[in-house]
Structure 1
Amino acid sequence: MAKEYAKTFYNSSAWIKCKNSYIKSVFGLCERCGKPGYIVHHKKHLTPKNINDPDVTLNHNNLEYLCQQCHNEEHERFKKKSAVRKGFGFNEKGEFVPMV
């Protein structure tokens, strides 16, 4: 969901035209995995300081079309948490051991 300071921008005709032309330029596919895309991601994140800078907001070089999964991974949303310390796991007997 858009942050409050960005809502006007994301509803602007300039953004809608830019977004649609960008999606068309990448054939509607996620640029990371090739699945159907879902969201146009700004590589340089939008902030209150740059929200009115078209070199950031409307520049195709700052955009990437991503599917939902790749966008979540980009923002580390829904990141799977491990209940086990890195480098350790359970063997076939169910014992907690270092993984080699």
Structure 2
Amino acid sequence: MAKPWAKPFYNSSAWKKCRASYIKKVFGICEHCGEPGYILDHIEELTPENITDPDITLNHENLQYLCLKCHNTKTFEKYSRVREGFGFDEEGNLIQVPLVSTRKW
């Protein structure tokens, strides 16, 4: 959900046009896993300081279309206690997992 300071931007016609053109460009597919996309994500997160900068907010180079799972992984990864490239096996042991991602984040 958009933060209160970002709502005017997300309701703007400029964002709606940018969003539609980007999703069309990537055929509505998650750019990380190839499943149907769900959320157009800013790679560099929006802040109150950069919300009025179109090079950040409306630049296709700063966007990626993600499914909900990939978006949540990207967004909440910074709060994870496990470093990228590691995980747990079925017995709860910490293991290294192969990195096969081509993600932008």
Q: TM-score band, normalised by the shorter chain?
A: 0.7 to 0.9
The correspondence of residues 1-100 of structure 1 with structure 2, limited to 5 A, is: 1-76=1-76, 90=91
Distance 1:73 1:44 in 2: 15
Sequence identity percentage: 56
Structure 1 unaligned segments of length 5 or more: list them. 91-95
Distance 1:88 1:65 in 2: 30
Q: After TM superposition, where is structure 1 displaced by more than 4 Å over at least 4 residues in a row? A: 79-82, 86-90, 96-99
**How much is the aligned-residue C-alpha RMSD, in angstroms?**
3.0
Structure 2 unaligned segments of length 5 or more: list them. 96-105
CA gap of 1:66–1:98, structure 2 versus 1, over 3 A, is closer
Distance 2:33 2:80 in 1: 19
Post-superposition offset of 1:32: 0.3
Post-superposition offset of 1:80: 8.6
State the TM-score, normalizing by the size of structure 2.
Answer: 0.74
1:64 maps to a residue whose letter is Q
CA gap of 1:5–1:88, structure 2 versus 1, over 3 A, is same
1:46-88 CA distance string (max 9 Å, x none): 00000000000000000000000000100127x8989xxx889
CA gap of 1:17–1:76, structure 2 versus 1, over 3 A, is same
Radius of gyration: which is bigger?
1
Contact 1:89 1:98 in 2 (8 A): no
Aligned residues: 90
